[in-house]
């Protein structure tokens, strides 16, 4: 009985830990990428293709925006994440919707739920 309770508590702790670590946005440095001091989010450029100017790729920023989030709010979150990395710009490489789940109801109908994901590469221009 004691072993079963212990395994239940361990499972509960794991679930709570995983749920508490989930964020709908964030950033990640590439291995070996240089680290810079944070920049001003208001000065971060959003781009759809690589600039011709020489730059360093620092890492990725991402967000899974909810339907209620405005474009300005989403762009602001991306800029904040890139600024924390010391970036000058973000090159958006992924902006897509993907099927998250299918829910079936009692009467045989189905609802498909889609989630949006935006991923960008944080870059710093060579000085």
Distance separating alpha carbons of residues 63 and 41, to the nearest angstrom: 16
Question: Helix or strand or coil: residue 77?
Answer: helix
The domains of the chain, with CATH numbers, are 23-125 (3.30.110.70)
pTM: 0.72
Residues 5-51 have pLDDT tens digits of 545 545 544 444 444 445 689 999 999 999 999 999 999 999 999 99
């Amino acid at each position: 009985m004691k072993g079963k309770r212990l395994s239940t508590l361990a499972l509960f702790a794991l679930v709570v830990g995983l749920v508490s670590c989930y964020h709908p946005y964030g950033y990640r440095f590439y291995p070996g990428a240089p680290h810079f001091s944070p920049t001003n989010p208001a000065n971060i450029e959003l781009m759809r293709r690589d600039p011709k100017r020489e730059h360093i790729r620092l890492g990725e920023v991402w967000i899974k925006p909810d339907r209620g989030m405005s474009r300005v709010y989403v762009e602001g979150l991306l800029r904040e994440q890139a600024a924390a990395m010391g970036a000058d710009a973000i090159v958006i490489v992924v902006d897509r919707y993907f099927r998250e789940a299918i829910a079936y109801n009692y009467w045989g109908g189905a609802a498909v739920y889609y989630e949006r994901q935006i991923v960008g590469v944080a870059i710093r221009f060579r000085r």
